[in-house]
Amino acid sequence: VEAIEITPEIQDAADGLAARLAVFVSEHDALPFRFDPREGAAR
Amino acid sequence: MSNTTATDLAALTIGEASALIDRGELRPSELLEAHLARIAEVEPVVHAFVEVYTEEARAEASAADVRAQRGERLGPLDGMPVSAKDLLDAAGHPTRAGSLATSERPKPADSEVIRRLRAAGATFLGKVHTHELAYGNETPPARNPWDLRRVPGGSSGGSGASVASGTSLASIGTDTGGSIRIPAALDGVVGLKPTYGRVSKEGLQPLSWSLDTAGPLARRVQDAAIVLQAIAGFDPLDPFSHDVPVDDFSEELAAEIDLAGVRIGIPESFYGPKLMPFVGDAFEAALAVFIEAGAVLVPVEMPELDRCQDVMNVLASVESASFNQVQNAERGHLYAPEVRAAMAAGQATSAITYVNAQRGRGVVRRAMHAAFEGIDTMLLPTIATQAPFVDGGGVELGDQELDVLNALNVLTIPANITGIPAITVPCGFSPDAMPIGLQLWGRPFDERRIVSVAAAYEQRTPWHTRVAPIR
């Protein structure tokens, strides 16, 4: 038995979430998140 | 202080305790011993602490005694007993994050937040419980000091329970979708979620890198401001840290804070349909206080906020499944069922959906920034209901029955999605005598303003003075 099991209910919920977000970003013509080349991690 | 009991001392605020020490009427080691006595008294039923570092705390309090005696106190936090959620590393102790799956190995160094607390002279009492991996709002085994049959909230439930039960003067929590504000509101104390990037996350186990924020829970707004002052500021070792000036967060706190003309946005169409009636009543009474004080209430429309929970659920589950990928495979069987389900949800989410969640986040951020034009702060209830019973199943909100996680964070998530600061203060009690909170949202890095408006409300109301009965 896998420790982390993707059950049909969990997959259905993920698919529903994906569909709602796809509509939301499409309606708002949303851009991808910003990439700033000046930003950099110190380590 | 010869006639003062340990319980009295443990019920002080940071401001009061610090003033007593300044006047030579209280020693930090007396204050610590009062807290240790209070812990011995109430912890058998509250269960806030993972571990109390008694001897380390006594050594720190003794050093604070010497500084106080020499007139060399480091500031108002010097000698104050504080705790932190067990997501933050403390040198010489493991960070278990509320999970059997995490390592028992002691951490070699303090997290930056705990290092800064100690540098400010705080007496570090120990670590308090988190919901497992910070992924939940119930926080077993901790209980709510107002009704021990109920949850303290989460994921910083140990912090809320400890501050409310008088075993810490303040406690550091973390807030990814509301996890500082939710236990603060359910336990009747103050919780301050700073702007994303205001407080270092070095040595903090992530739940969700792009959402996590550390901040204080305390008994008064001023106490929360004092703790934030100690822990805020740029950290080059934290890639998410912002290099912006640190304000004096207590600067606008005065004997009587003027609210005349302060413009407060009210996003009623967002919170209104979600509230239990008793929360709505308490919030309406709070609005009347602001109106009476001369504040100007401005309706705010942000329909984009209704997608925040979807954005949050994708970001948190995917980022958490990424951070914990190896642990999930090797030790995931040790997780509680709801944490396994959350990790599975992250694994079941496509890369396209994760990118869409980040795109959706941008939509919400732009809407929030636009809504702040012409207003100083926004005001809404912190939680739509009261603390649920332990193992009580789902929570009814309006015409829906939701799981505890999604029922309690529905009004707190937008501040995490947009990264803005937020504070919760007590604003009343339910018919079951459980605390209700209101929250204020601010512009990015404008914690000073929400601290000031929250303190003004506190000055005009009695709710913060009630003490949890621990029953």
Question: What does the pLDDT average to over B341-350?
Answer: 97
Question: What mean pLDDT, rounded, does chain B reach?
Answer: 96
Strand partners, B52: B126
Cα B107 from chain centroid (whole Å): 24
From the CB of residue B40, how many other CB atoms can be counted at a distance below 10 Å? 12
Give the largest CA-CA distance in chain B.
66
User: From the CA of B78, how many Å to the nearest CA of chain A?
Assistant: 31
Q: How confident is the model over B413-448, as pLDDT tens digits?
A: 999 999 999 999 999 999 999 999 999 999 999 999
Judged by average pLDDT, the poorest of A27-31, A38-42, B115-119, B466-470 is A38-42
Chain A neighbors of B239, CB-CB under 8 A = 41-43
**Nearest residue to B199 via CA among B180, B183, B220:** B180
Judged by average pLDDT, the poorest of B191-205, B219-233, B243-257, B365-379 is B243-257
Residue B44 has pLDDT above 90, yes or no: yes
Question: What does the pLDDT average to over B40-44?
Answer: 97
Contact of B155 with B149, CB cutoff 8 Å = no
**Nearest residue to B77 via CA among B110, B117, B114:** B117
B85 as an active site residue: the answer is: yes
pLDDT band (50, 70, 90) for residue B226: very high
Preferred mutation among A17, A20, A35, A43 to probe B, highest tally of B CBs within 10 A:
A17
What does the pLDDT read at residue B402? Answer: 84
Which residue of chain A is at minimal alpha-carbon distance from B101? A3
pLDDT band (50, 70, 90) for residue B5: confident
User: From the CA of A27, how many Å to the nearest CA of chain B?
Assistant: 10
The sign of the torsion formed by the CA atoms of B361, B364, B368, B369 equals positive
Q: How confident is the model over B83-105, as pLDDT tens digits?
A: 999 999 999 999 999 999 999 99
What does the pLDDT read at residue A43? Answer: 45
Q: How confident is the model over B151-178, as pLDDT tens digits?
A: 999 999 999 999 999 999 999 999 999 9
Contact of B365 with B419, CB cutoff 8 Å = yes
**Nearest residue to B306 via CA among B274, B277, B331:** B274
Question: What does the pLDDT average to over B258-262?
Answer: 97
Chain A neighbors of B236, CB-CB under 8 A = 42
B274 as an active site residue: the answer is: no
What does the pLDDT read at residue A32? Answer: 74
Write the residue in A10, A25, A34 that is nearest to B345 by C-beta: A10
What does the pLDDT read at residue B356? Answer: 96
Which residue of chain A is at minimal alpha-carbon distance from B309? A17
What does the pLDDT read at residue B31? Answer: 97
User: From the CA of B260, how many Å to the nearest CA of chain A?
Assistant: 37
Q: How confident is the model over A1-43, as pLDDT tens digits?
A: 468 999 999 999 999 999 999 999 999 988 877 766 666 554 4
pLDDT band (50, 70, 90) for residue B2: very low
Rounded CA-CA distance B49/B217 in Å is 15
Rounded CA-CA distance B417/B315 in Å is 9
Residue B185 has pLDDT above 50, yes or no: yes
Beta strand ranges found along B252-315 (DSSP E): 263-266, 296-299
Question: What does the pLDDT average to over B279-288?
Answer: 98
pLDDT band (50, 70, 90) for residue B341: very high
Preferred mutation among A1, A2, A10 to probe B, highest tally of B CBs within 10 A:
A10
Q: Which two tokens stand for residue A14?
A: 């993920």
User: From the CA of B331, how many Å to the nearest CA of chain A?
Assistant: 7
- The more confident residue out of A41 and B53 is B53
B2 as an active site residue: the answer is: no
The residues on A that touch B, with CB distances below 8 Å, are 3-7, 10-11, 13-14, 17-18, 20-22, 24-25, 28, 30-34, 41-43
Q: Which two tokens stand for residue B282?
A: 């308490």
Rounded CA-CA distance B387/B408 in Å is 9
pLDDT band (50, 70, 90) for residue B138: very high
What does the pLDDT read at residue B6? Answer: 67
The proportion of chain B whose per-residue pLDDT surpasses 90, expressed as a percent, equals 93
Task: Verify whether the Cβ–Cβ distance A17 to B335 is below 8 Å.
Answer: no
- Active-site hit among B179, B200, B317, B452: B179
pLDDT band (50, 70, 90) for residue B11: confident
pLDDT band (50, 70, 90) for residue B276: very high
B364 torsion bin: left (phi>0), alpha (psi -120 to 50), beta (else): alpha
Q: How far apart are the first and last CA of chain B?
A: 28
B300 to B10, B67, B425: CA distances (angstroms):
41, 50, 21
What does the pLDDT read at residue B424? Answer: 98
Helix (H) or strand (E) holding B290: helix B277-292
Strand partners, B49: B128
Chain A neighbors of B352, CB-CB under 8 A = 18, 22
What does the pLDDT read at residue A42? Answer: 47
Q: Which two tokens stand for residue A13?
A: 């919920």
Model ipTM?
Answer: 0.89
Task: Verify whether the Cβ–Cβ distance A31 to B359 is below 8 Å.
Answer: yes
Write the residue in B356, B358, B361 that is nearest to A22 by C-beta: B356
Task: Verify whether the Cβ–Cβ distance A4 to B356 is below 8 Å.
Answer: no
Question: What does the pLDDT average to over B444-456?
Answer: 97
Global confidence as pTM: 0.96
The proportion of chain B whose per-residue pLDDT surpasses 70, expressed as a percent, equals 99
